[in-house]
Every structure is written in C-alpha cells, then in structure tokens.
C-alpha cells in the first residue's frame, strides 16, 4: 500500500475528518520555504478571496489589457468591492502533473512522458515548483516538489502501467469497487483529492494540476464531488487532457468526458481532447502554458463574514460579452 493510500484509509476511517490528514502533512511544511514573503503574508489574510482567471472572446482567444474597472465580482449574487487587481500575475506557479498509468493508457504513456517533460521545461521558472503523481490501482508520488527538470523527468519516467489489483473496501466510503466483471483500476478521483489536499493545499499563490487520462474512474473510494471540493479548498485549477486510445474500449464505450468537464469547469480549468496524437498533446500543453502565464489576479474581502466552512458561489462579470474562465467559488474557512 502506498503512502497516499495509507492516508486515504485514515480519512475514510475517521468519517472524512480532515484534521487527521493535516497532521500527516505537517512534516512537509518546509517544502514551501524560499517562496516570496509576499505570498506568505497574503495567505495569512484569510479574509481575502483571491481569484486567478482568464478572459476570452467568443472564439476562445485570450483578451489582454483589461483593467480593474472592467470587472464586477458577485458572491452569492451580492456585489463585492475589489481590493486587489493585477493584469498579469508574476506570482510563482505550483504545478501538479497527474498521469494515468492504468492498462487503458499502455499505448499512450510513452507519448505523455516525452511531451510532459518538454512542457515542464518550457513553463517552469526559477521560483516555480512541480510534482508528479501516477495513478492506477494505487496512487504513487513519483516526484515531490522540485524545480529541477532532471528530477521531474526521472519521476515521469518511473510511471509504469499497473497490474490492476483490486483495492479493498474502506469503512464509511461506498463503492463502486472493482469486481471480476468490471475493469480495474483507475483511482482518478482519489488521485485528484490527494494531490489537492496533501500537496497543493500546503502551497500559496497560483496553483494548477494537469491530468493526463482517459477520464474513466474505476475503483476510487471517493466521489467526483470530493475531488472537486478538495481542489476548491486548495484553490487549484484542474486541467484535463483526454489522452485516450479509443480503440482500447471496443464495444465497452467511453464515458469519462462529462465528469472531467464538470471538474475542470468548477475549478476554472478546461478539458482538451487529445486522443493519441502527439501534436495535439503538445498543442494542449502549449495552450495551458499560455493561459497560466496570462491570468488576471483579483482579490476582495467578502461582505459575508460568517466562518461556517460553507461554499460561496463567485462570479466575475464584464460589460462586454467575454467568457471568464475561473473557479465557481470557494469554501469559507471555518472557525476552530
């Protein structure tokens, strides 16, 4: 059993009590040392809601050069006062690469590794960090936070197609669980949850995870909503690159698209169809790099000061008919 799965068992056994996980990850708090002091200061201001977003025209082209006065923020339908705005963010980027190593990916895994390394080499700057996770029947941290491309390359190259052993049920968490008559295993939702909660939630600033997967979950203990909630609480954008050898499925069909679209849209990312084409995968990575380096950054202090841990729906509006690509809301920090 991997370290990640041991942590997941603890969560489930405690009825999803998150403080148990926090105790486990406290040992890794030093990983954010060396980041800008401004980020630490901003994180301590828990009353400030920070949103990173892209603005696009009807054809999907990025719209630069907008100002603070071009935007209005609504929280649960109520106007908010903008306290901070930046047209381009120079904050460090923390990036997670989640690579599907289940049997359905056997013929595309090599392509993902090669193009993924090229992407990291292009996008990472001096103060940026990245990590690599693979997921199939188990979830494995192949490379923890680093800025070193050789280490990230080694991490990606360690990804191997899993043998697909069934994962035993966990008390308090319902299936579906792998059986003899269903495929096994792709713990996709579990991987997103753990990447968000164990890794990205401990960081500050701009954060994103990129999933290279066919979008099919088989065997996760947690649900799609749990993965999305964890990403929200970690302020993390989820991009999904649908890398799939459709011939693998045959008559079984394919149904991962809708769940992945929901995850991406809720967190401010998007789904990009790649198939098994290296040129499409490279373009997808290039598009993501451009979006992450072209984000607007806006912050406000909510008029709703209730600290109940509830979800607040956020909407950014513009006077023109532009599309705003951002997360759908945030969870208010609950008081101890």
The domain spanning residue 207 has which CATH number?
Answer: 3.40.50.410
Domain that holds residue 81: 48-88+295-331
> Any idea which of 27-31, 154-158, 197-201, 246-250 has the lowest mean pLDDT?
27-31
Whether 202 maps to a domain, the answer reads yes
Q: Is the pLDDT of residue 212 over 80?
A: yes
pLDDT confidence bin for 46, thresholds 50/70/90: low
Residues 115, 204, single domain; the answer is yes
* Domain count along the chain: 2
pLDDT confidence bin for 214, thresholds 50/70/90: very high
The tokens for 201 are 């939630």
164 compared with 245, residue with greater pLDDT: 245
In whole numbers, what is the pLDDT of the chain averaged over residues?
Answer: 82
Whether 310 maps to a domain, the answer reads yes
Q: Highest mean pLDDT: which of 39-48, 156-165, 312-321?
A: 312-321
CB environment 261-289: b (16+ within 10 A), e (fewer): eebbbbbbbbbbebebeeebbbebbeebb
Residues 154, 171, single domain; the answer is yes
Beta-carbon contacts of residue 7 (< 8 Å; ≥ 6 apart): 21, 24, 194, 198
Residues 184, 326, single domain; the answer is no
pLDDT tens digit sequence for 123-146: 999 999 999 999 999 999 999 999
**The predicted structure's pLDDT at residue 29:** 41
Residues 323, 221, single domain; the answer is no
Q: Using omega within 30 degrees of 0 as the cis cutoff, is the peptide bond preceding 176 cis?
A: yes
DSSP string for residues in 179-235: -TTS---B-HHHHHHHIIIIIGGG--SEEEEEEEE-S--BS-SS-HHHHHHHHHHTT
Distance (Å, whole) CA 99 – CA 188: 9
Q: What is the mean pLDDT of residues 9-38?
A: 39
Residues 299, 171, single domain; the answer is no
Whether 224 maps to a domain, the answer reads yes
Residues 155, 200, single domain; the answer is yes
pLDDT tens digit sequence for 68-94: 999 999 999 999 999 999 987 778 999
**The predicted structure's pLDDT at residue 268:** 97
The alpha-helical segments, DSSP class H, found in the chain are 3-13, 18-25, 37-44, 109-123, 149-157, 188-194, 224-233, 257-267, 278-292
Overall residue count recorded for the chain in this entry? 336
Residues 150, 7, single domain; the answer is yes
Whether 278 maps to a domain, the answer reads yes
Distance (Å, whole) CA 138 – CA 186: 8
Residues 59, 83, single domain; the answer is yes
Distance (Å, whole) CA 126 – CA 143: 18
Distance (Å, whole) CA 276 – CA 245: 6
Whether 240 maps to a domain, the answer reads yes
């Amino acid at each position: 059993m991997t370290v990640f799965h041991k942590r997941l068992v603890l969560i489930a056994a405690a009825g999803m009590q998150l403080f148990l996980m926090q105790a486990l990850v406290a040992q890794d708090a030093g990983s954010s040392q060396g980041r800008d002091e401004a980020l630490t200061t901003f994180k301590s201001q828990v009353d400030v809601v920070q949103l990173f977003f892209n603005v696009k025209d009807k054809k999907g082209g990025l719209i630069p050069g907008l100002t603070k006065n071009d935007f209005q923020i609504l929280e649960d339908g109520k106007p908010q006062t903008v306290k901070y705005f930046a047209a381009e963010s120079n904050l460090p980027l923390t990036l997670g690469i989640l690579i599907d190593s289940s049997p359905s990916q056997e013929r595309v895994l090599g392509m993902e590794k090669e193009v993924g390394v090229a992407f990291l080499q292009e996008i990472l700057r001096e103060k940026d960090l990245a990590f690599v996770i693979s997921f199939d029947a188990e979830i494995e941290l192949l490379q923890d936070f680093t800025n070193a491309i050789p280490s990230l390359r080694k991490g990606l190259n360690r990804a191997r197609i899993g043998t697909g052993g069934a994962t035993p049920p966990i008390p308090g968490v319902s299936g579906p669980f792998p059986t003899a008559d269903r495929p096994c295993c792709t713990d996709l939702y579990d991987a997103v949850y753990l990447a968000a909660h164990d890794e990205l939630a401990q960081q500050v600033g701009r954060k994103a995870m990129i999933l290279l997967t066919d979008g099919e979950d088989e065997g996760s203990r947690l649900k799609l909503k749990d993965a999305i909630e964890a990403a929200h609480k970690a302020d993390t954008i989820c991009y999904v690159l649908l890398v799939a050898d459709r011939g693998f499925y045959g008559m079984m069909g394919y149904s991962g698209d809708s769940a992945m679209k929901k995850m991406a849209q809720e967190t401010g990312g998007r789904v990009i169809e790649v198939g098994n084409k290296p040129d499409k995968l490279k373009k997808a990575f290039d598009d993501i790099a451009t979006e992450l380096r072209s984000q607007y950054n806006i912050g406000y202090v909510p008029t709703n000061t209730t600290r109940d841990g509830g979800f607040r729906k956020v909407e950014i509006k513009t006077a023109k008919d532009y599309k705003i690509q951002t997360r759908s809301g945030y969870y208010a920090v609950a008081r101890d």
